[in-house]
Structure 1
Amino acid sequence: MKIVSTSIEADYTYLRIKFHHPGAVVGPKDASMFLSNFLKEMTYRASKQRHHGDVASPSTNLNNAYHMIKAILKMCRSREAEERERANLVEQDVLIVDPAKSPLRLRDLYIRPNI
């Protein structure tokens, strides 16, 4: 998914989902080389009016779906950013401590406030 948006017009709520598709970046001439059909955009519409016996209006479901999709997209984007960051990390050698020497101490270091 590329973009998820919601809008309210008159008595209806619209949920629009745009997808990544091959013709968007390369241009329409180069997009003809693909033999498959791709879905570019989906739009859902729900009424804001409640019917007799309904607990909530149908547009509430669209709003809930919108918020869940946004949360999932946020998690996926943060996971991808974390993976890119981990790929750039350099692995360090294991720290070797010499047991024969005394441990290093910082003598002129004071912690404030005193604990």
Structure 2
Amino acid sequence: MTLTASIQLAASTATFLLAATCAKSWAMGPSTFKLVLTIVLYSVGNLIMLRLVREFGMASAFSLSAVIQLIAVNLIALVYFGEKLTLIQSFGILCAILAVGLITFGSATE
């Protein structure tokens, strides 16, 4: 992965994390500003992802982004917002991380 691609992946991840945080904030206290900000952030994140799709292909770009976001969004939900997961939910998230990791890194071994 090139430095430029790494920067784009980091930028899209940060943008999606901000968007998810704004979405949760809107859910806790709806306002037009929070809704518009959430939509703008998700749109910017997707525009950045389009560049990554062009460089790596859809499967690789979205899989890599998904596993990074899955981990980061759950950390934000658990640490910042104080959400709790049941044992089954925790196991499901672990399985999802493993699945996306296998899809992403499996293509690199071929």
Q: Output the TM-score relative to the length of structure 2.
A: 0.29
**Quick check: which has more Rg, 1 or 2?**
1
Q: Which has the higher helix share?
A: 2
The answer to which structure, 1 or 2, has the higher relative contact order (CA under 8 A, 6+ apart) is: 2
Q: Output the TM-score relative to the length of structure 1.
A: 0.28
Q: Which has the higher strand share?
A: 1
